């Protein structure tokens, strides 16, 4: 890391115009502040490895059921196979998303989103904004939605999705999920070509903060991770999740068609101690282990489908039972 200096333009970012655009951390703060003003709970990143902000229970579980919810959180998202040893200026093993969930979505949701861009200094009249069809589906989570990728001067900066299903459950009401790619937006605002040249704050760059992670974790993900151990972890986590879910299922019988709401509510009151969240965390660990095994090239195409099915089964089962507790 370079010697700290206290001039405005960091010496670690050669050629960057001093303080052009927001620093990475200011960008995060501004967007969070904006969504806080829209009544969003500002949550913390989930403290487990996830592949996307969607997998945090703050999205996966909170979009289920009738209760309204609004939340925004940064989520470091790990995709082991995307690592490039810190050498590729645009690809990261771990990138940071800002995830916003609005349930139900307000009528002016698109405008709210566009105003958030103004909030971070983008004068929309001077740029080209397009909402291009991009329908999202996660086979592992049993989730899908319709929406767009938002393009800003040809750069994809956001995924905007109306969730229709999650954990195999049809959502009512639907939620809107807005996922900002923070590194891309920061690089755009600061007009730099490499993510590692993004100013994190006025003294340190993204590269200073994160390049070593990228190198070391690429080595781990692609070369060092012990495949045999990963399989063992996967099986242990899966088995434990299955056990928890089987117990929960016994405690939460399927409600009778007529007395659905009442029965479920009663079950919910009676069973707050069911560790469904524990089962879901084990499911998340399985999902991450699957991604690691994939990066190690340890999963054949045929096996792949089967393993996605296994993780999906845990996710769907959790969602089904969760909905009985929180109709």
Partner 1 sequence: MPLPLLLEFGCEEIPAAMLNALAGRLASGLETELRGAMLWSDAARRSSVWTPRRLACHVDALLERQNDREEEVVGPPAKAAYDAAGKPTRAAEQFAARFGLTPEKLYRVRQPKGEYVALKHAIAGQAAAELLPDCIMRAWKAVAAPRAMRWDESGLEFIRPLRWMVALLGDAVVPLRLGAVEAGRETRGHRTLGKPAISLPTAGWEHYLAALKENFVLAEPDARRRRIEAGLAASANGAQPRPDAALLDLLVNLTEFPTVVRGEFDAGFLDLPAEVLITVMRGHQHYFALEEAHGKLAPAFLAVANQDRDREGLIRHGNERVLRARFNDARFFWRHDRVKSLEARLEDLRHISFHAKLGNYQEKAWRMRALVQAIVPQLSHAGEYFEQVSQAAMLAKCDLGTDLVKEFTELQGQIGGLLARAEGLPATVADAIYEHYLPLSSEGEIPSTPAGSMVALADKLDTIVGMFGLGEIPSGSRDPYALRRQANGIARILIEHELPLDLNAMIQVSAQLYAEAGYMAWKRPKNEAVLDFLRERQGFIFQEVKGYPGEEVRAVLDNPNAHHAGAPWHNWQKLRAVHETRERYPEKFARTAEALKRMRNIVEQAGGLAQWLRPEWNPKFFNLEEEVQLQQAIEPLVEGIELAQDREAYAEALDGIAALAEPLENYFQKVRVNDPDTELRENRLRFLAWATTGLAGIADLSQIAV
Rank residues 193 and 254 by Cβ distance to partner 1 and give the closer one: 193
Minimum distance from residue 64 beta carbon to partner 1 (Å): 15
Tell how strand 143-152 and strand 136-138 pair up: antiparallel
CB 144 within 8 A of CB 136: yes
Q: Tell me if 175 sits within 8 A of 63, measured CB to CB.
A: yes
User: Among residues 76 and 89, whose Cβ is nearest to partner 1?
Assistant: 89
Element (H, E) at 165: strand 155-166
Could you say whether residue 164 binds partner 1 (CB under 8 A)? yes
- The secondary structure of 291-303 as a DSSP string is HHHHHTT---HHH
Of 70-78, 88-96, 199-207, 220-228, the window that binds partner 1 (rule: CB under 8 A) is: 88-96
Residue 16 Cβ, how far from partner 1 at the closest point, in Å?
13
Extract the tokens encoding 102: 């609005």
**Residue 135 lies near partner 1 (rule: CB under 8 A):** yes
Contact between 22 and partner 1 by CB under 8 A: the answer reads no
Q: Applying CB under 8 A, what is the total number of residues that bind partner 1?
A: 42
State yes or no: residue 127 binds partner 1 (CB under 8 A): yes
Residues from 106 through 125 that contact partner 1 (CB under 8 A): 107, 110, 114, 124-125
- Match 């940064």 to its residue by tokens: 74
**Residue 293: is it exposed, middle or buried by C-beta count within 10 angstroms (0-12/13-18/19+)?**
buried
Q: What is the closest distance, in whole angstroms, from the C-beta atom of residue 73 to partner 1 in the complex?
A: 23
257: number of CA atoms within 13 Å, CB side?
A: 0
Helix (H, G, I), strand (E, B) or coil at 193: coil
Give the residue with the Cβ less far from partner 1, 11 or 111: 111
- From the list 5, 33, 37, 130, which residue makes contact with partner 1 (rule: CB under 8 A)? 130
Task: Check residue 168 for interaction with partner 1 (CB under 8 A).
Answer: no
Torsions phi, psi for 16 (to 5 deg): -75, 140
Q: Which of 46, 60, 188, 234 binds partner 1 (CB under 8 A)?
A: 188
List 85, 162, 220, 231, residue binding partner 1 (CB under 8 A): 162
Find the shortest distance in angstroms from Cβ 122 to partner 1: 10
For the chain, how big is the Rg over CA atoms in Å?
21
Assess contact for 103 and 62: CB atoms under 8 A.
yes
Cα distance between residue 326 and residue 2, in whole Å: 51
Rule CB under 8 A: say whether 15 interacts with partner 1.
no
For β-strands 69-78 and 169-181, DSSP reports them as unpaired
Sites of contact with partner 1 (CB under 8 A): 84, 87-91, 104-105, 107, 110, 114, 124-133, 135, 145-146, 148, 152-155, 162, 164, 172-174, 188, 191, 193, 297, 300-302, 305
């Amino acid at each position: 890391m370079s010697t700290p200096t206290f001039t405005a333009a960091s010496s670690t970012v050669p050629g960057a115009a001093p303080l052009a655009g927001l620093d990475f951390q200011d960008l995060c703060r501004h967007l969070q502040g904006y969504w806080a003003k829209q009544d969003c709970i500002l949550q913390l990143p989930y403290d487990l490895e996830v592949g996307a902000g969607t997998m945090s229970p703050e999205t996966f579980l909170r979009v289920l059921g009738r209760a309204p919810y609004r939340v925004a959180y940064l989520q470091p998202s790990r995709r082991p196979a995307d690592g490039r040893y810190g050498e590729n200026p645009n690809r990261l093993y771990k990138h940071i998303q800002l995830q916003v969930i609005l349930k139900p979505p307000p009528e002016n949701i698109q405008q709210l989103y566009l105003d958030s861009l103004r909030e971070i200094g983008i004068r929309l009249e001077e740029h080209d904004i397009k909402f291009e069809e991009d329908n999202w589906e996660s086979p592992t989570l049993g989730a899908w939605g319709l929406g767009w990728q938002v393009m800003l001067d040809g750069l994809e900066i956001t995924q905007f999705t109306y969730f229709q299903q999650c954990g195999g459950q049809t959502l009512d009401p639907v939620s809107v999920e807005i996922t900002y790619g923070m590194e891309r937006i920061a690089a755009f605002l600061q007009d730099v070509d490499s993510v590692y040249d993004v100013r994190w704050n006025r003294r340190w760059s993204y590269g200073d903060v994160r390049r070593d992670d990228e190198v070391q974790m690429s080595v781990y993900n692609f070369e060092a991770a012990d495949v045999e151990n990963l399989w063992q972890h996967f099986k242990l986590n899966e088995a434990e999740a299955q056990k928890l879910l089987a117990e929960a299922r016994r405690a939460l019988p399927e409600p009778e068609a007529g007395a659905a709401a009442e029965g479920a509510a009663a079950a919910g009151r009676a069973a707050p101690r069911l560790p469904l969240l524990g089962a879901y965390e084990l499911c998340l660990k399985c999902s991450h282990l699957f991604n690691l095994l994939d990066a190690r090239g340890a999963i054949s195409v045929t096996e792949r489908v089967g393993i996605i099915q296994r993780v999906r089964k845990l996710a769907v089962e959790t969602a089904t039972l969760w909905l009985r507790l929180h109709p």
